[in-house]
Structure 1
Amino acid sequence: MSRPHCPRCSRPLDHCLCALIPRLSSRTRVLILQHPSEVRHALNTARLAALGLNNAELRVGEVFEDLPALLAQPGYRACLLFPGEQAQPLPQFARQLDGLPALLIVPDGTWRKARKLLHCNPLLATLPRVTLVDGLESRYRLRKAPMPGALSTIEAVVSALGVLEAPAQFDALLKPFEALIEGQIEAMGVETFRRNHQRG
């Protein structure tokens, strides 16, 4: 018999994170496009990010038929948070906004699944691509990053908003993420974590 889950944060009721999820306002609109394979992921940080931001939306799928309408929201300048040859550093894009808020499109999935989202939704390729600043390190201590600067979705959103809305900070979004990691370390046992995950 499966454990009862919270309908909001999708965590088991005895590990519900809702009390830690803030409700933060931002000028930037965040649109997270989540590959269906991520929905049942133990972390699902995209869901936590969408719940913690008033001006955010999480859409799940591979093909988004209404993407033209989602991107055509008046008063925003859209950009795609994804690396590539044509990608520009986010601070550079922020300087070009001329007072307009950004519409930040964030694909959520493994690198392979995120690339599939771009392939299945060619309209995304028409957007200016942006990347986070160099030198960022993930707080997700349970998994080795596949490449330098690789962050979880919620960390990427927090970092991006910190640039787009400086000097405002959005670190409060990370509280449920950090509680989730602590819970996983506790479940595996601190000794097991130290042996297998801590950097020597």
Structure 2
Amino acid sequence: MCALIPTLQCATRILVIQHPQEQKHALNTGRLLVAGLAHADLLVAEQLPPDSPVLQQISDPAWFTELLFPGERAQLPVPAQSGDERPRRLVLIDGTWRKARKILMLNPVLQNLPRVCLPGGLVSRYRLRKTRVPDALSTIEAGVHALQMIEPDRDYSALLHPFEALIEGQIEAMGVECYERNHSPLVCGYVNSRPAKD
């Protein structure tokens, strides 16, 4: 799988804040997203320490920093050429929905960021994890979709190649019969089984 991880350049700086319990998870897609981008950082923390350099970076007015997280205030991300000349940073929270909401609640600096979301109707390829949240995507899928919207002239689909290999490897390891018995969309009661956050 490692040979499939690209090193893509992007104008947008990515910061993934990962819940500590996700760090050693076998299906850790936040780590894959960061590994595939030349300008991306991974921070493992539930609550950002007050003296954290990340807090200063997120709050730096010289940067246009947004949080990718759904909510009433969230809007679709606009392409990079639309107005603001500052360098852009996109923050993603990596964890189940419960853990992601807790990280957001514990860190007022994240709550104060402009919020962006993805359009409805996106279907996850992550067939191994289930959620009842509509349109839920894995962290890597959400990052790829957001980057494509912000930088529409670039192609970020190569980031998904190791993700797809990871899924296929897991299905092969468990056996197709086991996969169909436990993860089939019909067994789970979903039209599409969707992953990554509960």
User: What residue number does 1:44 align with?
Assistant: 28
Name the SS for the 1:183 alignment partner. helix
The structure, 1 or 2, with the larger RCO (C-alpha pairs under 8 Å, 6+ apart) is: 2
**Correspondent of 1:192 among 175, 178, 181:** 178
Q: Which runs of 5+ in 2 are unaligned?
A: 187-198
CA distance in 2 between partners of 1:101 and 1:134 (Å): 27
What secondary structure, in the 3-state scheme, does the structure 2 residue paired with 1:113 have?
A: helix
How many Å apart are 1:68 and its aligned residue?
2.6
- Pair 1:167-2:156 in alignment: no
Q: Secondary structure at the match of 1:163?
A: helix
Count of matched residue positions in the alignment of Structure 1 and Structure 2: 183
Give unpaired runs (5+ residues) of structure 1.
Answer: 1-16
Q: What is the correspondence of 1:1-200 to structure 2 with a 5 Å cutoff? A: 17-65=1-49, 66=52, 67-73=54-60, 75-91=62-78, 96-200=82-186
Which TM-score applies when normalising by structure 1? 0.84
1:199 to partner: Cα distance? 3.2
Give TM-score, length-normalised by structure 2. 0.85
Q: Give the CA deviation at 1:187.
A: 0.9
Alpha-carbon distance in 1 for matches of 2:22, 2:146: 21
Q: Distance in 1 between matches of 2:113 and 2:42?
A: 19
2:134 corresponds to which letter in structure 1?
A: P
Determine if contact 2:64/2:84 at 8 Å carries over to the other structure: no
Residues 97 and 126 from structure 1, CA distance in 2 versus in 1: closer, same or farther, beyond 3 angstroms?
farther
**Local SS of the residue matching 2:65:** strand
CA distance in 1, matches of 2:82, 2:72: 19
The DSSP-based 3-state class of the residue aligned with 1:90 is coil
Contact 1:137 1:148 in 2 (8 A): no
1:97 is displaced (CA, Å) by 4.3
What's the CA shift string for 1:72-124, capped at 9, x where partnerless? 45653100111111111223x75754344421010111111111111221111
Cα separation, 1, equivalents of 2:107 and 2:138: 22
Percent sequence identity over aligned pairs = 55
AA aligned to 2:3 is: A
Partner amino acid for 1:190? V
Q: Deviations over 1:23-59 (max 9, x none)?
A: 0000000000001010111111111111110010000
